[in-house]
Amino acid sequence: MVPSEPYMLVSALLFTIGLVGFCCRRDVLVMLMCVELMLTSANIVFVTAGRGLASADGQVIAFFVIALAAAEVAVGLALVVSVFHNRRSVDADAVTDLKG
Amino acid sequence: MEWLDACTSAPQFAPMLVASVVAIVGGIMMVTRRDVVRGALWLVLTLVAVAVLYATLAADLLAMVQVIVYAGAIMVLFLFVIILLAAGREPLALGQPGWEGVAAPALGLVLLVVLAASVATSGLWRVSAHGQTVAAPFPDEVGQALFSGSHALAVELISVLLVVAMIGVIVLAKGLRAERGH
């Protein structure tokens, strides 16, 4: 079997790509997709560690993360649509004030 | 580095390597495309490649759930919203203006170095580095752990969370309709 280190390195790379994308992009939809990428990379670590420790808990946590990601995407996209209808923009910099 | 020798002798190494390269290339393409639809399609590719990674980790059930829920349902939701909002709209410029555009990749590089160093020095995953085969949990074991024992309460809480999220989305959509009525 493949040892755990390469999986951890792939996960670290994917997380870094997601974080840099989240910081660099201004489109809220792309920022949400970058969050998905970071959650997925965390899942890889959970599954790999679960295998290394011969425990089913890693995969169970990964299931929870997928369910949380589904809820987060639903609410996040509803907010994006709501903001778009008010501001006619998906630019994260367009929403800078609380009153609106 | 003993784990490099263990890599090349494992039969799952070739698919794991291909899936990793595809996942990373897909991630980079997703971040660097100006067009949001193209970015979303690259992310679908990345998520399918991660499902292949799960399969090489002997997490069969999770690989299937990844394809159905993540690459399927969640990304379809993304594409629907992109089509709803982005039709006829000029895509936003890439990158942040000023110092933020330089600081974010530099910070990412620092994070990557820290993560790689922690992977190289941590002993948590040494269990599998010596080439000994650890029995990966079967799908039925994962199901048992999910629905009986200590995780049963967490599963119920997740279902409550999903209902709350659904109600929240309905409230947000209702507010939109009420606003448009004025």
Query: Are the beta carbons of B128 and A51 separated by less than 8 Å?
Result: yes
Chain A residues in contact with B154 (beta carbon < 8 A):
64
pLDDT for B182: 55
Chain A residues in contact with B137 (beta carbon < 8 A):
50-51, 54-56, 59
Residue A6 near residue B91 (C-beta atoms within 8 A): no
The pLDDT confidence band at residue A83, using thresholds 50, 70 and 90, is confident
Residue B95 has pLDDT above 90, yes or no: no
pLDDT for B132: 52
Of A48-52, B125-129, B140-144, B146-150, the one with minimum mean pLDDT is: B125-129
Q: Give the ranges where B57-151 is alpha helix by DSSP (H).
A: 60-65, 75-86, 100-121, 139-147
Q: Distance (Å, rounded) from C-alpha A8 to C-alpha B123?
A: 13
Chain B residues in contact with A21 (beta carbon < 8 A):
27, 30-31
B27, B125, B146: residue with CB nearest A60: B146
The pLDDT confidence band at residue B129, using thresholds 50, 70 and 90, is very low
Q: Distance (Å, rounded) from C-alpha A11 to C-alpha B24?
A: 9
Q: Please give the residue that has the higher pLDDT: either B92 or A42.
A: A42
ipTM associated with this complex: 0.91
Return the bridge partners of A27, or none. A91
Interface test with B, best of A11, A33, A44, A84 (most B CBs within 10 A): A33
Q: Please give the residue that has the higher pLDDT: either B150 or B179.
A: B150
Task: Give the torsion through C-alpha atoms of A63, B44, B28, A50, to 10 deg.
Answer: 20
The pLDDT confidence band at residue A37, using thresholds 50, 70 and 90, is very high
pLDDT for B77: 92
Interface test with B, best of A55, A63, A73, A83 (most B CBs within 10 A): A63
Interface test with B, best of A11, A47, A53, A61 (most B CBs within 10 A): A47
Digit-coded pLDDT (tens) for B55-89: 999 888 999 999 999 988 999 999 999 888 876 66
- Stretch B44-59: mean pLDDT: 94
pLDDT for B146: 85
pLDDT for A89: 77
Digit-coded pLDDT (tens) for A12-28: 999 999 999 998 888 88
For B23, counting Cβ atoms within 10 Å of its Cβ (0-12 exposed, 13-18 middle, 19+ buried), the class is buried
Chain A residues in contact with B179 (beta carbon < 8 A):
85
Nearest residue in A to B98, CA atom: A24
